[in-house]
Structure 1
Amino acid sequence: MTHSPADGPVQHAEPAPIEAIKLRHPWRTVFAVVLIVLVGIFVYDAAVNRPVYNWAEVGTYVFDTRIVSAIGYTLQLTVYSMIIAIVLGVALAVMRLSPNPVVRVVAWVYLWIFRGTPVYVQLTFWGLVPAIYKSIELGIPFTDAVVTIATKELLSFFTLAVIGLALNEAAYMAEIVRAGLLAVDKGQDEAATALGLGWWHTMTRVVLPQAMRVIIPPTGNEVISMLKTTSLVTAVPFTLELYTRSRDIAAVTYQPVPMLIVASIWYLVITSVLMVGQYYLEKHFAKGVGQRPDIQRPSVATASITVVGETGSEHAKYTEADGRTSIVPPHSGTGGGGR
């Protein structure tokens, strides 16, 4: 049966709603069940069949005053080392980007040395500094010293541990900061210069706030890594931090596994707190990035737009070939604008 234009528009039946069928993933369910079973077997075995864990011993020492005191030293090592490393890392990053070739080479050599040698070796070397440099002498060169200070009195093992950790970490922070600075478009720097801002204001008010979005995530990872790296300061030797303190207690009680569990519990607790802080810092510096409205709507209604050259209170109307009227010009002419 042929439909003619005089019969009016064709009436279509109301379409039936789509019944979406959720795609099933049976192997995912099987894999999840297997993981749960394996975890349950491990937990049961550790709690019942492994007396070497000695959970009663863990509960005895988890809040021991010596352990709590060691946590304080571990946090101090982490905070002091990271503060120095961040400041020195920013300076090294600026030196790496300097137009002066001598400054660039000095920064590169620093990074080459401290990134190319193990941190444990570096800490061992810092522990030997009082033996290598027995005293520090101040005065006019090629004359008798005015002031002589014994290195052991000036630099404690705690101070040497902080210096060793900070200098090693500064090499990594320099690359993180440099990557963040390079991530900011060069046009931002040029625009700030065009506005008359100096280097300091350009860096602190334009470049660094944008670079922080790139710098914060790896810096948070470095803080967490530094917390765990403090367990190596026994090479200095500094023996009052968490791991070494728990190891010394285990040497007396002959229970190394429970003391390792105690140290691990506190490392996990502190790391969890740091991860929460990192999350909120990343959220703060990522404001306005990657956020787009779900629906894009025009700022004005289409019907309110008039055509240039048309006058009167009514909107311009065009007659199509089939007799209909429209505010859109017909496309019969060259370039789509002819009547």
Structure 2
Amino acid sequence: MSTRPPVRWGILGAAKFAREHMARAIHAAEGAELVALATSDAAKAEPFQAFCPSLRVHASYEALLADPAIDAVYIPLPNHLHVEWTLKALAAGKHVLCEKPLAMAEADFDRLIAARDAAGRLAAEAYMIVHHPQFARARELVQGGAIGELQLVDTVFSYNNAADTGNIRNRPETGGGALPDIGVYIFGSTCYVTGQEPTAVPHAQIRRENGVDVFTQLTAEFPGFAYRGVVSMRMQARQHLTFHGSHGHLTLTAPYNAGVYDIAQLVLETAQGRQVERWPAVNQYVLQVQAFCRSVREGVPYACPLEFSRGTQRMIDLTLAAADGVVR
């Protein structure tokens, strides 16, 4: 058992995702203590206090950032507010775990990285999937040559929220769209497993509604392999990620919402046969919080620093440019 003090957490905003997933993960994680929530609506704090009765409630985000009893903040605000409040939290001397997408353009990461370095604090995007053991295993197998020379990565992530017109993902003024919301998963997962970033996005087709992208299909070029991906907020829920190699292929059947969409499962098929590995009871949100706390208290390198997230955002920017006919 660690003798280091727990990282004391505050949450900026009573978002549904924070209530259902991340607040509970912080409360359950080893090395973490959920201390405070910022919301101007006391009724919204009640569901949080139901599982964390000692939770303090601040009436404003500024008040929480001024609380000296808070070491780290989790930010689940709408996308367009992420950069602003991450910078404010760093300026207040807090470590920051901010929901994805952390920024809306690659250039924003220059400010975030500079602020992180100046504050001497950890700041990261809440990219939970890289903390799940299925991704560590996929990375080990693909980079270790288990499927031979990688030729193609093929992935899709979709859901249908067309009926929820007021959802922030369907509103341009809140940074909505399928690419910001779930494009980070289909792009970042490939970069993490392969250890590479794209050299070009030669083709992208985007369909928009009300000023936000609701369907995108694209092809990309990486050093040594090709990529094709689809994200949509107008299709039946589906997700898969397959790495095709010269001597086999590896598939994650629930890569992005493991334990919610389905049981996390890795399927490796080669000439030697079919191998299946499953992780039925892993909570990747808890693992994410614990990894963050170890980085804060012990200096353990974090799996997806801001530099990693900048690479993911660059791929989104390349995709948007390709769809607009701009070659970069």
Both structures adopt the same fold (TM-score exceeding 0.5): no
TM-score, with length taken from structure 2? 0.21
Which of the two has greater helix per residue? 1
Point out the structure with the larger strand share: 2
